Structure 1
Amino acid sequence: MSRHLTSLTEADVAAVRAVVDAAEHADHVRPVDEAVELLLARGLGSGAALWLDEGGFALVRPGEPRELDLVVRPDARRAGLGAALAREVLDDGPWAAWSHGDHPGARALAARLGFRAERSLWVMRLPGDVSLPQAPSEGPTLRAFRPGEDDDELLRVNREAFAHHPEQAGLDPAGLEERMGQPWFDPAGLLVADAGGGHLVGFHWTKVHEASDDAPRHGEVYVIGVDPSAQGGGLGRRLLVAGLAHLRSVLGDDAEVVLYVESDNDPAVAMYAKFGFAHAARDTHVQYRRGPVLLGT
């Protein structure tokens, strides 16, 4: 029987991370996203709850729908633990759950539990040997983010650029401060487009991932946001080139750069492909959803 927790000790966090690391080593993809990593760093809170077993865990994040993160250690799989944890947590309300890497075991379990695939997120990769194209030099000044000065403007641009995005639009001052407190945060890697007087019209937030047992040091196009008033004039392309150039200046020209994009965002996928980014089937994350379960069905 799992332990139901709404706050985590250091030992609990270590146990969860051990499961995550083991799954990543076996499957070659991190089985949780940044939101989960931030929750673990806080020891939960924010209405989240964890069901922890020796062989795995189920994490529930509040929202509409609630989100389920379920990870089972490789040596504990195919014994019914995933289904048992899921049934311990799920109720008849609406739910969402991600399968990072579109794992076949997750696909089978989702079908058994009545979830359907609703959304697909692609990882696209840019090899280090691809030359960067030229971008227009005219337009707003591109400079490094100034913490404490640019916060409100950055959040405004983010809010307007991602008004219909289910996750990114929710970034608030607390979320920005939390991310700026992470070890990977570097103001020089958050490039902003300043139209004058500190009025921002876009940004490219990059991230450097340090080497691990499962991946070499590499870069990420974390977020690119362009104010709707400045869209259509090539600013997004200019920000992308500038961010990639920054990553190569930090990592070297041979380092890989990754990004995440909705699979049905055809304009964005086409733009990234022109830059040399490519997608492989294994680099697919799938969101499953289950609507309210009607009693008696």
Structure 2
Amino acid sequence: MSHIHITEALESARVEAVLALAESAREHDGIAPLSEQTLLRVRHGAQAGGADVRFHLLYEEAEGDAERLAGFGFAERSPDGGPDSGELVVAPGRRLHGYGTWLLNSLADESEGRGLRVWAHGGLPGARALARSAAAEQVRGLLKMRLALRGADSANTPALSGARLSDEARERLDIRPFAVGRDEQEWLRTNARAFADHPEQGGITLDDLRQREAEAWFDPAGFFVAADRSSGRIAGFHWTKTHADGAGLADEPVGEVYVVGVDPDWQGTGLGRELTLTGLRHLRDRGLPWVLLYVEEENPVAVRLYESLGFTLWDADVMYAVPVK
């Protein structure tokens, strides 16, 4: 008999099952169904005293007494009492059985009146249909943009040069790679200031940062910080990432503008553009064919910056608010 198991932690066998389900959905749909943050929670769990998370595993009977994982949902509770943030995925071969609705209702019930907001990646028809059936409304959008770095598609890519730093920034700051074991606390301070109003990025903790440092893709050589020569304070940063699987863009590794942040005290100095170009040149020099990024739909300043560098719209992720029952 099919059922949903709700737990705050996953043992290794369930971790592997969830990761396998997510990978099968990625291969089928051409887009990853779960965000990096959710996958980190699956692999590492929540740190003691940290985020309050729930994993929803939908099982159905298989042959004999075995059970098969047919769907997975995840929710993380907001520390300020706001709506839970979640995601869900149904195995490609088990769709059109009502499992998506079942998982969504399970996540909503567990929110206990706080509300639920669910990410849908890539605007797939099934996700839109599920949102309509639940009377969910879009409350946030992430634009996915891309830039060709080589090949025929790069013919119209502007030269990755020409940033204009202010005199103060040029005289006081050095751009260098992130130093593991030395820069963590200072980077966290700058990141929190740069993303004070961002619901996910601004809340990154030391444990979150160390989890990312332990990932196979982490490369400090592609993590650039602009540091004050006299004080050592980090004024801004550009953290790049390489996707070994091509991220749906190519059959070879591609790059990502993972996150660019500038301390409010240094905004308006041209530092954000200079850091962005530094990272793009790094990815280009590695021979990667494409670079992608995510940017908030409601951040026209950032969108215009990326458009000026040659990025074009590729896809979008949508966050839906599910009505409180």
Q: TM-score, normalised by structure 2?
A: 0.84
1:225 & 1:113 partners in 2: Cα distance? Answer: 36
1:224 & 1:212 partners in 2: Cα distance? Answer: 21
* Alignment correspondent of 2:64: none
* Alignment correspondent of 1:39: 41
State the Cα distance separating 1:201 from its structure 2 match: 0.6
1:121 & 1:89 partners in 2: Cα distance? Answer: 22
After superposition, where does 1:108-257 map in structure 2 within 5 Å?
Answer: 108-128=129-149, 129=154, 130=157, 131-136=159-164, 138-139=170-171, 140-196=173-229, 197-211=231-245, 215=250, 216-250=252-286, 252=287, 254-257=288-291
Tell whether the 8 Å contact from 1:8 to 1:44 is kept in structure 2 after alignment. Answer: no
| Deviations 1:221-274 (CA, angstroms, capped at 9, x unpaired) | 011111111111111110011011111222x1x520011001121111111011
State the Cα distance separating 1:15 from its structure 2 match: 1.3
Give the secondary structure class of the aligned counterpart of 1:55.
strand
| Deviations 1:272-293 (CA, angstroms, capped at 9, x unpaired) | 011111103xx11000013533
State the Cα distance separating 1:69 from its structure 2 match: 1.3
* Alignment correspondent of 2:93: 75
1:27 & 1:289 partners in 2: Cα distance? Answer: 23
| Deviations 1:34-59 (CA, angstroms, capped at 9, x unpaired) | 11111111146643222212211122
Tell whether the 8 Å contact from 1:205 to 1:222 is kept in structure 2 after alignment. Answer: yes
Of 31-40 and 60-69, deviating more is: 60-69
Tell whether the 8 Å contact from 1:50 to 1:59 is kept in structure 2 after alignment. Answer: yes
| Deviations 1:97-156 (CA, angstroms, capped at 9, x unpaired) | 000001221122122223211111011001122332322363521111112222222111
Matched, 1:262 2:296: yes
Q: Which amino acid aligns with 1:289?
A: A
From the superposition, tell whether residues 96 and 75 of structure 1 become closer, same or farther in structure 2 (CA, over 3 Å): same
2:247 & 2:312 partners in 1: Cα distance? Answer: 24
* Alignment correspondent of 1:15: 17
State the Cα distance separating 1:213 from its structure 2 match: 9.1
From the superposition, tell whether residues 240 and 95 of structure 1 become closer, same or farther in structure 2 (CA, over 3 Å): same
Tell whether the 8 Å contact from 2:53 to 2:75 is kept in structure 1 after alignment. Answer: yes
State the Cα distance separating 1:13 from its structure 2 match: 1.3
1:151 & 1:85 partners in 2: Cα distance? Answer: 37
The root-mean-square deviation of aligned C-alpha atoms, in Å, is: 1.8
Runs of at least 5 residues in structure 1 that lack an aligned partner in the other structure: none
2:310 & 2:247 partners in 1: Cα distance? Answer: 26
From the superposition, tell whether residues 42 and 31 of structure 1 become closer, same or farther in structure 2 (CA, over 3 Å): same
* Alignment correspondent of 1:48: 53
Of 118-127 and 136-145, deviating more is: 136-145
Give the secondary structure class of the aligned counterpart of 1:242.
helix
Tell whether the 8 Å contact from 2:143 to 2:313 is kept in structure 1 after alignment. Answer: yes
Q: TM-score, normalised by structure 1?
A: 0.91
Give the secondary structure class of the aligned counterpart of 2:52.
coil
Tell whether the 8 Å contact from 1:4 to 1:49 is kept in structure 2 after alignment. Answer: yes
Give the secondary structure class of the aligned counterpart of 1:191.
strand
| Deviations 1:20-74 (CA, angstroms, capped at 9, x unpaired) | 1121112111111111111111146643222212211122222221122110111
Give the secondary structure class of the aligned counterpart of 1:90.
helix
State the Cα distance separating 1:219 from its structure 2 match: 0.6
Runs of at least 5 residues in structure 2 that lack an aligned partner in the other structure: 60-68
1:155 & 1:51 partners in 2: Cα distance? Answer: 31
1:263 & 1:161 partners in 2: Cα distance? Answer: 18
2:188 & 2:8 partners in 1: Cα distance? Answer: 29
2:262 & 2:46 partners in 1: Cα distance? Answer: 32
Tell whether the 8 Å contact from 1:122 to 1:279 is kept in structure 2 after alignment. Answer: yes
Q: Which amino acid aligns with 1:98?
A: W
